[in-house]
A and B are shown apart, each in its own frame.
Chain A
Amino acid sequence: MIGGLFIYNHKGEVLISRVYRDDIGRNAVDAFRVNVIHARQQVRSPVTNIARTSFFHVKRSNIWLAAVTKQNVNAAMVFEFLYKMCDVMTAYFGKISEENIKNNFVLIYELLDEILDFGYPQNSETGALKTFITQQGIKSQHHTKEEQSQITSQVTGQIGWRREGIKYRRNELFLDVLESVNLLMSPQGQVLSAHVSGRVVMKSYLSGMPECKFGMNDKIVIDKQGKGGTTDDSGKSELGGSGKQSIAIDDCTFHQCVRLSKFDSERSISFIPPDGEYELMRYRTTKDIILPFRVIPLVREVGRTKLEVKVVIKSNFKPSLLAQKIEVRIPTPLNTSGVQVICMKGKAKYKASENAIVWKIKRMAGMKESQISAEIELLPTNDKKKWARPPISMNFEVPFAPSGLKVRYLKVFEPKLNYSDHDVIKWVRYIGRSGIYETRC
């Protein structure tokens, strides 16, 4: 298991050092600094073995978190734990920075003592942790016996992510369907790979221990229901309205509150949600993706010292919808000496430090197209190697889910308290963002 956990600043100074196992000594702290943080070359692997000691590291801004072990540990678990550790710290004191870590080092030690015992990760749900790791030590003494056992049963219990006795005057929940659409397109406009990775993020402000059931236009569920009863297949158009009725989900993963065995057998998503914001599920689709933009590049080399670039973008969604924060990034060669840009819409600038022309458009409606053309002057070089031509990338945000996912329902039952599904105020929002959206040129 994890033998020790160290946090360093960008200079390699130790901010936090907690050793769990006897086989890890202080020299391990230095070994990582010398061999990884101060290494001359770029880091080639997140796992490093130095003198039979393995170091796992992740970096958050300029802070290094390293887990150390001498055993054959579960590597995936160690990384998951490091991410979790970052989440917990963020939940307690915000951004992970040197200043924040130094200011909260006592808290961090306390957390590390709680969530990692002898190198074994323990309950690390912030909801539960916050009930008893409060940084107000004196107060925690005054818990009543009931309160204490309530804490421990929550920390160890089946529903470790939610405490009992939560009350809201107004029961309300927010669902955000956040998708990032990824594309790799050839210069000829052929889709090399495209997928949507989506998340359903829920903010729940519900009283008691509500039992929830979530439904979406999952093809498997819809098909099953279609076979089960309704004879009229076209009668389901009330669901989406946008033509596509159901979507094929390649794979999905759930927050630990979801009963996986139930999903496996009935494909129904039922759970008791944590309080506040959390990620209910993640999913991935590859079929019938709506690609909100198409990029058509045209690069022409005029002699050895000039490039002509023309890029057309086309929006491909309902004209009534508006895309926002559009940014097209056209890479330029390293030996660029000057750039002249003409664009029909938005603003375009050559950024020498980034070796790219950045073209920004605030808003763009569906079924429109826009164009930019640029002349790039090059310095003559005797570098034999041709310019690698990185792909043209795009950023944007659209108010729909490119995968076609639709929320069908989210039902809430709380048998003990007297509020029903109808009393809960529900909000649903769809946001599609660009992930890695690249067109080669």
Chain B
Amino acid sequence: MTDSKYFTTTKKGEIFELKAELNSDKKEKKKEAVKKVIASMTVGKDVSALFPDVVNCMQTDNLELKKLVYLYLMNYAKSQPDMAIMAVNTFVKDCEDLNPLIRALAVRTMGCIRVDKITEYLCEPLRKCLKDEDPYVRKTAAVCVAKLHDINAQLVEDQGFLDTLKDLISDSNPMVVANAVAALSEIAESHPNSNLLDLNPQTINKLLTALNECTEWGQIFILDCLASYLPRDDRESQSICERVTPRLSHANSAVVLSAVKVLMKFMEMLPKDLDYYGTLLKKLAPPLVTLLSAEPELQYVALRNINLIVQKRPEILKHEMKVFFVKYNDPIYVKLEKLDIMIRLASQANIAQVLAELKEYATEVDVDFVRKAVRAIGRCAIKVEQSAERCVSTLLDLIQTKVNYVVQEAIVVIKDIFRKYPNKYESVIATLCENLDSLDEPEARAAMIWIVGEYAERIDNADELLESFLEGFHDESTQVQLQLLTAIVKLFLKKPTETQELVQQVLSLATQDSDNPDLRDRGYIYWRLLSTDPVAAKEVVLAEKPLISEETDLIEPTLLEELICHIGTLASVYHKPPSAFVEGSRGVQHKRLPPRAGSGESTESPDVGQSGPSEAPPAVIPSQGDLLGDLLNLDLAPPTATVPSVQPSMQMGAMDLLGGGLDSLVCSSPMGAGLGAAPAAMPASLGGAPAVGGGLGDLFDLGGGVGMPTGSYVAPKTVWLLAMKAKGLEISGTFARRGGIIQMDLSLTNKAMSVMTDFAIQFNRNSFGLAPAGPLQVLTPLSPNQTIDVSLPLSTSGPVMKMEPLNNLQVAVKNNIDVFYFSCQYPLSLLFVEDGKMDRQVFLATWKDIPNDNEAQFQIKDIHLNSDVASNKLQGSNIFTIAKRTVEGQDMLYQSVKLTNGIWVLAEMRIQTGNPNYTCTEPRIVYANLLHSQ
């Protein structure tokens, strides 16, 4: 065996020589030549020139040679599609071979050749192979369907391969089942909404049976697939869990982790008081611990997952602290992860042990690890109050070591300890001050400056210390500059007499010599505060600080839930949702944990999790359909199709306003509404589906009979701001016109882990000058997972700017965390005022004066209403019927609308009675720019 000779680079003319050898008559020589080609290919040389010669070697009865040629084909077929066709014949022939190994080889290789022309020829052999008598061929063919789908999804659907693949789930051979499941799961990923896998109790039962019999890899495919199933109730959930738990003893860690994923997910559905729930919790701990005796790479994957599990269900591993103690020879990535989990598991019961360990780690070699260990000591102090004193003394010991990065890290955490336990450990400040000179990292410097400023009254030479920092003010990082500014202002407020000069100096440095806007702004604010009202300044700057939370670095609950659904996968290693690192549509679906049976615990958050475009934030593309949906569509889902709006000019824009607005009042659903000769883009016609008709009925018949007390229709709330985009704040809302007052109804939900306060709202300039008429009334702080409903009255006296589309509204919401921006659309009917009924005479006169350019027509189909009901219905939204006449069996309604800015709109609506299925109303909508200044 000296095949390594093929790797040695040869001189020029190699390709030429190879060509000759490939065409040699001697079998052995041929084979040697192909080997050389493959070796060259491996090291990255381009040997595509040899394509015809290599393909010529394909027809051989030597299996080894055949495999080599196939390997070559897979690599180069794409670059030589025309010549690749030459290989088709052999493939088709091989698919008929007596030897199942050869049949499988052919179908396996063909699927890897991504040439459209070959794909066509693949269909027939594949169909046969999917039904082959030999399981080895079937299991290969199952994967081949996934390959083909990757090349040409449409073809796979057209040829009915998906159904055949589904049938394979019931195959007698467990490996065929496993591969079919793998292929289906992958195909299903690219069709998020198709019910391709169609999991039901029967198929689940089949999968669970196959689970006991197939290879370790097959078990992983099946378990991963099971995890995407949603059991009907807690009993089914329990019975699946019972059948999955034996997998926890499998030697393959991936099988164990996938089983853990299924259990963690289905456990959500079990009532907590169930005995089985407790048993399951106990069963989960040992296998997780065992994963830590695997190879280091797997340990790493396991630890990243345990980190998630510990956050989700701390009770599982709370007694297992010791196994996470770091070993001297652990690779650094394992050490860092173990440390992270140790802190999460730290509690009063084990804190002594943990601290002793952490102290040990703080003397290790690896800088990152040591830093993290020091930081961990600080976190323990904050988490377990009883240990705070010991932690502080440990940190002081570490500071005495004078190791530069240890000292800096210690000072950063001591700052947090001061925040958590005010007025308790200030005696150590003296020690900290001794190390002032050795601090060279911004974070540590900023922390130290904070400490000096905060306790300025107890540090005799605080002014000197701060002054020393001031010398190199411009060389400091922004973090340090900001902190220094604040600290000196604090110092000034505490000892005003001696430090006047210092504060002058820092204020001028910050405001005049700095080009950092943040720094300048802060400087100016302090300056103005100090010069106008020093008492107020004191109240602001020296205000009591809110407590800091005990747990840090926790993953946001919605993300954590999603990651739990991805246990074992890359997402759980990165701690990021798949959409953050996977391109394209694959894996972008958000997964969620199932709701717990019998409790509304997690059902009350209709949050970010849902998949599909329906949750697209409203900021995306405003469709006219949306408008109309808002007004009329009561029980249909929010529109998914977005119709791009065409808005030719300012004037036309105004017309479009009407088109959209009125149409939305009269028509029913975003999919509906015929489009007349109107220039504005209008929703397409209704298909005449009964459900849709029902939606529209809401406006026309129900409303006509009952009458809406406050007038207009109010759309259900939609999500405007996603929690993921706003650090945990979710806002949904709608608009309403109640008794002549425009209101914005908002629901604010806190999905973050800390309390939110200080809400405020502001609008950007918009087409109709909408502006908040009062402040946003959120009186109590919003605690985590709480939702609050607020109604914000709006006025139309704000600044005006034409928006695109016209009814677009850009909103900024501020809270104690940050400022968030979103945009939404309001229904135009919001702006229809109550006194919009025009005098008949004026109407008539005006109607005649309207130029043709200002006219638009629409057709609205499938409205089963007579003119009176329609008229009543529209009046609820302040569209007033001025006159009615009947011409040739058609009812004509003449209507007027007045907008808040004084624009009048006149309309003619023609209703054809008699044909119940196709009642067509054709309102003639006219735009009049009259009485503008009224």
Contact = CB atoms under 8 A, between A and B. Distances in A.
Q: Do A and B bind each other?
A: yes
Interface of A: 1, 13-17, 19-23, 26, 29, 42-47, 49, 52, 54, 56-58, 69-77, 79-83, 99, 102-106, 109-110, 113, 117-118, 120-125, 132, 135-138, 140-141, 143, 145, 148-149, 151-153, 155-158, 160, 184, 186, 192-193, 195, 197, 250-256, 259-261, 263-264, 279, 281-282, 284, 384-386, 388-391, 393, 436, 438, 440
Nearest to A435: B293
Contacts of A125: 215
Most chain-A CB neighbours within 10 Å: which of B42, B256, B287, B566? B42
A135 B256 CA distance: 35
Contacts of A193: 322-323, 325
B540 interface: no
Which of B39, B112, B144, B332 counts the most chain A CB atoms within 10 A? B112
Contacts of B134: 149, 152
Nearest to A259: B212
Contacts of A69: 570
A15 B42 CA distance: 7
B38 interface: yes
Given A1-B186, A113-B108, A253-B251, A141 B61 contact: yes
B364 A54 contact: no
B87 interface: no
Contact of A76 (B140, B182, B257): B257
A72 B587 contact: yes
Contacts of B512: none
Contacts of B4: 99, 102-103, 105
Contact of A42 (B67, B143, B256, B332): B332
Interface centre among B38, B254, B586, by most chain A C-beta atoms within 10 angstroms, is B254
Contact of A282 (B71, B245, B251, B583): B251
B251 A79 contact: no
Contact of B581 (A52, A105, A135, A260): A52
Interface stretch (B93-101, B678-686, B759-767): B93-101
A29 B63 contact: no
Given A29-B44, A80-B254, A141-B61, A263 B246 contact: yes
A441 to B, nearest CB: 12
Top 5 closest pairs, chain A to chain B, by CB: A137-B64, A102-B4, A251-B286, A152-B136, A76-B254
A74 B258 contact: yes
A42 B175 CA distance: 41
B289 A284 contact: yes
Contacts of A251: 249, 286-287, 289-290
Contacts, number: 300
8 contacts: A71-B587, A72-B571, A141-B63, A251-B287, A253-B256, A263-B246, A284-B286, A284-B289
Contacts of A253: 249-251, 256, 287, 290
Nearest to A125: B215
Q: Which of B100, B111, B146 has the most chain A CB atoms closer than 10 A to its own CB? A: B100
B250 to A, nearest CB: 6
Question: Most chain-B Cβ atoms within 10 A of its Cβ — which of A44, A124, A155, A251?
Answer: A251
Interface stretch (B216-224, B619-627, B662-670, B875-883): B216-224
Nearest to B291: A76
Interface in B322-374: 322-323, 325, 327-329, 332-333, 353, 356-357, 360, 363-365
B38 A192 contact: no
Interface in B73-101: 75, 98-101
A47 to B, nearest CB: 5
Contacts of B289: 250-251, 284
Which of A70, A110, A122 counts the most chain B CB atoms within 10 A?
A: A122
Given A103-B3, A261-B243, A284-B290, 4 more contacts: A54-B581, A151-B101, A151-B136, A261-B212
B339 to A, nearest CB: 14
B250 A109 contact: no
Interface of B: 1-4, 6-7, 35, 38-39, 42-44, 61-68, 70-71, 75, 98-101, 104, 108, 111-112, 114, 134-137, 139-140, 143-144, 146-147, 150, 173-176, 179, 182, 186, 212-217, 220-221, 224, 243, 245-247, 249-254, 256-258, 286-287, 289-290, 293, 295-298, 300-302, 322-323, 325, 327-329, 332-333, 353, 356-357, 360, 363-365, 401-403, 566, 568-574, 578, 581-583, 586-587
A124 B75 CA distance: 24
Contacts of B61: 138, 141
Contacts of A81: 217
A264 B301 CA distance: 26
Contact of B101 (A16, A22, A118, A140): A140
Contacts of B213: 158
A83 B254 CA distance: 12
Nearest to B133: A149
Contacts of A389: 363
B136 A17 contact: no
Nearest to B366: A42
A184 B108 CA distance: 52
A106 B63 contact: no
A256 B104 CA distance: 25
A193 B101 CA distance: 52
Contacts of B571: 72
A22 B152 CA distance: 13
Contacts of B104: 152
B333 A46 contact: yes
A72 B44 CA distance: 27
A120 B182 contact: yes
A388 B67 contact: no
Q: Which of A17, A23, A120, A151 has the most CB of B within 10 A?
A: A120
Nearest to A30: B44
Contacts of B3: 102-106
A13 B325 contact: no
A390 B243 CA distance: 46
B181 to A, nearest CB: 10
Contacts of B360: 440
A433 B268 CA distance: 42
B280 to A, nearest CB: 13
A202 to B, nearest CB: 13
Contacts of B146: 118
B793 to A, nearest CB: 47
Contact of A120 (B67, B179, B257, B301): B179
A156 B175 contact: yes
Nearest to A180: B293
A80 B298 contact: yes
Contact of A148 (B67, B99, B114, B212): B99
A77 B217 contact: yes
A436 B329 contact: yes
A125 B214 CA distance: 12
A325 to B, nearest CB: 19
A390 B360 CA distance: 10
Contacts of B35: 106
B694 to A, nearest CB: 41
Given A74-B568, A254-B250, A103 B1 contact: yes
A250 B104 CA distance: 44
B297 A56 contact: yes
A260 B212 CA distance: 8
Contact of B250 (A29, A73, A256): A256
A149 B573 contact: no
Nearest to A17: B42
Given A72-B571, A80-B254, A260 B173 contact: no
Contact of B43 (A13, A151, A260): A13
A160 B215 contact: yes
Contacts of B64: 106, 110, 135-138
A113 B135 contact: no
A137 B99 contact: no
B26 to A, nearest CB: 14
